Amino acid sequence: MSNQHSVQALSWRKLYLSRAKLKASSRTSALMAGFAMVAMVEVQLDYDHPIPDALLVTFSVCTVVLVAVHLFALLISTCILPHIEAVSNVHSITAVKDSPHYNMSCYIEIAWACSTAIGIMLFIFEIAVICWVKFYGHSTNAAIAATAVVAPCFIIFCIFAFHFYQSLVKHKYEQSTQTVEELEHMALQLQDNGPAPGGTANVQTV
């Protein structure tokens, strides 16, 4: 019974982690998509100082891609999260098998990556483009200064994201190895606790 509870505990831990990722993805994606839409609507174009078409195209494409990526992550979270929430609210240890977090783990990871790594990188790039659109006709030095500040932040974020995901993969590998070892130990315990072959026949003969 203890071995069965251990397996169920691992399944519930995976479910709660998937639920936390989907919740964080939905909140982050909704917030950043809203900011991007407000920035596109509220930006004031100075018609006295024409802005290059290349800069406007970059701004529009970056905004659309940013919103699309976050809406895609929000769509995945909205579709999967209610099913996981429904299972997590059931007070039964065996209810975890009804959750789709195992079969849809790939989609959960995609939503997590779109909302965090890809989405935040696009958002930082969007800030630099907005600075150019806003200050191009008034002060090019201001746009250059903003880019000089955003560029190191973007590089630092990329380094941090790479290091974080590398550490996360290492942690998952160690955790999976530990889980396999625990399952092997459970299997050995079940074999040791099981009836020996021919034991009943020997007792009857005696």
Choose between 156 and 194: higher pLDDT: 156
Choose between 51 and 141: higher pLDDT: 141
Q: Give the dihedral sign, CA 151/154/158/163.
A: positive
- pTM for the structure as a whole: 0.72
Is residue 155 within 8 Å of 128, Cβ to Cβ? no
Confidence class for position 202, pLDDT limits 50, 70, 90: very low
pLDDT, average across residues 101-126: 87
Confidence class for position 157, pLDDT limits 50, 70, 90: confident
pLDDT at 5 over 60: no
Kindly tell me the burial class for residue 96, based on how many C-beta atoms sit within 10 Å of its own C-beta (0-12, 13-18, 19 or more): buried
Is residue 157 within 8 Å of 190, Cβ to Cβ? no
pLDDT at 153 over 50: yes
pLDDT of the residue at 201: 43
Residue ranges per domain, the chain?
Answer: 11-192
Q: Residue type for 116, please? A: T
Choose between 192 and 126: higher pLDDT: 126
Of the spans 44-48, 110-114, 134-138, which averages the highest pLDDT? 110-114
Confidence class for position 4, pLDDT limits 50, 70, 90: low
pLDDT at 205 over 70: no
Angle 103-2-172 (CA atoms, 0-180°, nearest 5)?
A: 40
Of the spans 2-11, 56-65, 190-199, which averages the highest pLDDT? 56-65
Cα dihedral 76, 80, 82, 85, rounded to 10, equals -120
pLDDT of the residue at 204: 41
Structure-token pair, residue 117: 């790594």
> Cα–Cα distance between 43 and 51 in angstroms, integer?
13
pLDDT at 116 over 70: yes
pLDDT, average across residues 126-137: 86
CATH architecture observed for domain 11-192: Up-down Bundle (1.20)
> Which pairs from 12-18 meet CB under 8 Å and 24+ separation?
12/93, 12/96, 14/101, 14/102, 15/84, 15/87, 15/88, 15/96, 15/99, 15/101, 16/88, 18/84, 18/101, 18/105, 18/108
